[in-house]
Amino acid sequence: MKRTAVIFDMDGLMFDTQCIYDRAYDEIMMERYGCKAPMEMHLAMMGSSGEDIIAAAASFMPEGADARSFIREGFDRVAELVKTELAARPGLEVILPYLEAKGYRMGLASGSERKVVDSNLETSGLRHYFDASLCGDEVTHGKPDPECYLRTAAMMGKRPEECYVLEDSPNGILAAYRAGCTPIMIPNDVQPDQATRDICAGIFASLTDVVTAMERGEI
């Protein structure tokens, strides 16, 4: 089936924000418990949202710790930091006008809260490219559950099989695959393992490389 829409993840895919999240969580862990968050904790939370990210955080925190307020404070700090530290991933300025010119519908499905997503789109001036967006505080189940991609496709009036999904995290790739979309990975902090490779339609070093592959008919 012809793909006529592209759904973007945001953190780590469109913007180099994963390091901002990691720093915020490390600072809160240090303030509360005198230690940084272990890398395994960052990886478990990456690409997730809602109750899932709270559960992931809780599994690494001291017994009785308030994981919900930990995540809440993390999002609040990130919302402030991205106002001055937002940086686009390589190729974002290439792929968005390319897809627009080719007539693709574009959606955004992020694990971040609405206020963070809106701030990022406002700061970057990219809001006009997107026909629909869905955020982590607007879904019941976060990635790797397929809910966000199923609902974003529906919001654009598309079936999942009509949609490419661009992701940087294994959780996001799995969510896209479970939704019936076509997952494409542009790794950032985490390289794909074999299980992730097996369900990707393509793995590329940058968003510019995705454009090249689309032009060549490789994806």
Q: What is the CATH number of the domain that holds 210?
A: 3.40.50.1000
The domain tally of the chain equals 2
Whose CA is closest to 50, among 168, 106, 134, 107?
134
Q: Is 9 a catalytic residue?
A: yes
Handedness of CA 46, 50, 55, 58 (dihedral sign): positive
Per-residue pLDDT of the chain (219 residues; tens, 9 = 90+): 799 999 999 999 999 988 898 999 999 999 999 999 999 999 888 877 778 889 999 999 988 899 999 999 998 998 888 888 899 999 999 999 999 999 999 999 999 889 889 989 999 999 999 999 999 999 999 899 999 999 999 999 999 999 999 999 999 999 999 999 999 999 998 899 999 999 999 999 999 999 999 999 999
Whose CA is closest to 2, among 103, 151, 96, 148?
103
Q: Is 131 a catalytic residue?
A: no
3-class secondary structure, 193? coil
Angle (nearest 5°) at CA 9 between 106 and 201: 85
Range of the domain at 47: 18-85
Are residues 106 and 152 located together in one domain of the fold? Answer: yes
In the listed set 54, 85, 116, which residue is the last one of a domain according to the structure? Answer: 85
**Catalytic pick from 11, 16, 52, 168?**
11
**Catalytic pick from 9, 16, 52, 168?**
9
Are residues 12 and 38 located together in one domain of the fold? Answer: no
Are residues 53 and 109 located together in one domain of the fold? Answer: no
Are residues 103 and 183 located together in one domain of the fold? Answer: yes
